[in-house]
Amino acid sequence: MKNLENIEQKTLSFLKQVSDPLVPIDKLVEFLRGQQGCEGVDEKLLLDFLRGHELFDVVEPAINEMLDNLSEAALLDNPHPVARVILTTRVPTQRQMAGMMTEQVQVVIDSLNKALISARDEGDQATAHKLIEIMSRARELQSRIAAHT
């Protein structure tokens, strides 16, 4: 990635001025690509750069491992919530972290629901049953998150 200093400065500026300190990486990439000298920013390379930088923290969605397992079992298409970037000086509150987790679980529930509809349409009762069980666990997780905020 060319001109890391320029990318670093524009990222710092952007992350300082946004109202929500946890910025999805795709929104940061979109912003950077609109900036002079940053048009060709690659998401993966940017994440690698930010992970190794002392001024930034990359918050990985905790739920991605579960989603990988579901995708491997062919129960879901790849519905991964995106990583988020935050300035180390803007660490989120417990409420913000709970909100992010709730959002991630909702993405999973929405994807499970689509997969359930598809399984039912295809008459695949075994898969539909598995999906219902997983949705139940996901909703239970949502309730536990809500109880801790």
Which pLDDT band, with edges at 50, 70 and 90, does 48 fall under? very high
Per-residue pLDDT tens digits for 89-127: 887 778 878 888 888 889 889 999 999 999 999 999 999
Q: Residue 80: is its pLDDT beyond 90?
A: no
Give the whole-angstrom CA distance, residue 40 versus residue 33.
Answer: 6
The residues near 28 (Cβ < 8 Å, ≥ 6 apart) are 11, 14, 15, 46, 85
What pLDDT score does 37 carry? 87
Give the whole-angstrom CA distance, residue 106 versus residue 63.
Answer: 11
CA geometry: angle 45, 48, 51, nearest 5 deg: 150
What pLDDT score does 75 carry? 53
3-class SS of residue 56? strand
What pLDDT score does 96 carry? 78
Q: Residue 83: is its pLDDT beyond 90?
A: no
What pLDDT score does 118 carry? 94
Which pLDDT band, with edges at 50, 70 and 90, does 145 fall under? confident
What pLDDT score does 73 carry? 53
What pLDDT score does 56 carry? 94
Contact 15/85 with Cβ under 8 angstroms?
A: yes
What pLDDT score does 16 carry? 94
Task: Give me the percent of the chain exceeding a pLDDT of 70.
Answer: 84
